[in-house]
Amino acid sequence: QELEEQYSPSRWSPRLGSDTIVQAHLEATAAGTRRARAGARTSLHVPYGDGDREKLDIYFPADPAGTFPLLLYIHGGYWQCLSKDESGFAALPLVSRGVAVAAVGYDTAPTGHMDAMVLQVRRSVAFLVQRHAGIRGIYLCGHSAGAHLAAMVLSTDWTQYGVAPDIRGAVLVSGVYDLEPILHTYVNDELHMSQEVAQRNSPMLHITPAAVACKVLVAVAQHDSPEFRRQSQEYGQALRAAGWSVSLLDLAGVDHFDIIEKLSEESYILTQVGEELLPSL
């Protein structure tokens, strides 16, 4: 029961009740995405594979001068809800500064399983590298389950994909980096993970030697549960011990949901700190 509580982010928000916070999050991110689509040059529903959800929404700078940094945003939703269609909300502050943003879709449970989701996100990176020769550095940003998937991208052996993506930074927000506790909660009812699958896809267990140019920002909300806060702290420390350049950011006054929703705001501290990862800015 205690573990169920710890891994139920909606129960920890002081703003709204657990029944309404997720719907409010969906409405906020969808509204931000609509604004971004209206204000940026876009290529929507670009297929990177053959599956229904293997598509990208790409938001381009108004005047890409030949080359541009690209931020890949990976949505959360506990690997079983949300989609790329409400994941463009962070694009406007970035495209105005010459950064392209790609929101990636992947097969959520019960259609998708954990191995497939990790593979899909890795393949989306390979696709972007092959398709856009003008990309000058890739930056990952993931929220919650998306932070887990972004962290798995950091552990990729790219020789299997025939590319060598220049991943220079990652912003991991309120993520889960060890899937073992998830096995014992309601979250696994849809995921059907075995112990082996959880271990194979836990970033904490697959930390590779540091990529020299890559900086990692691990952010967590004041009103995330103690378990989410522990996971962020321990993963950040483990990366640092392996030689990665890691910053840990504990954000006051936000919960598991508005910590990421506010990325649509120019003045938000996480927007500003994230932009500091981008050397072109």
Closest CA to 274 of 101, 44, 120, 126: 101
Domains in the chain (CATH in brackets) are 1-277 (3.40.50.1820)
Whose tokens are 């006054």? That residue is 253
Mean pLDDT for the chain overall? 93
**For residue 281, what pLDDT band results from cuts at 50, 70 and 90?**
very low
147 pLDDT more than 70:
yes
Provide mean pLDDT across the span 167-195.
96
Provide mean pLDDT across the span 223-230.
98
280 pLDDT more than 50:
no
Which region among 65-69, 167-171, 217-221 has the lowest average model confidence (pLDDT)?
A: 65-69
Strand order of the β-sheet with 68-74 is 41-47, 55-60, 100-104, 68-74, 135-143, 167-173, 215-221, 245-251
Of residues 272 and 114, more confidence is placed in: 114
What pLDDT shows up at residue 134? 86
185 pLDDT more than 60:
yes
Provide mean pLDDT across the span 68-94.
95
Provide mean pLDDT across the span 235-240.
97
Task: Supply the residues annotated as catalytic.
Answer: 144, 224, 256
- For 93-132, the pLDDT digits (tens) are 899 888 999 999 999 999 999 999 999 999 999 999 999 9
Question: HSE of 54 in the Cβ direction (CA atoms, 13 Å)?
Answer: 20
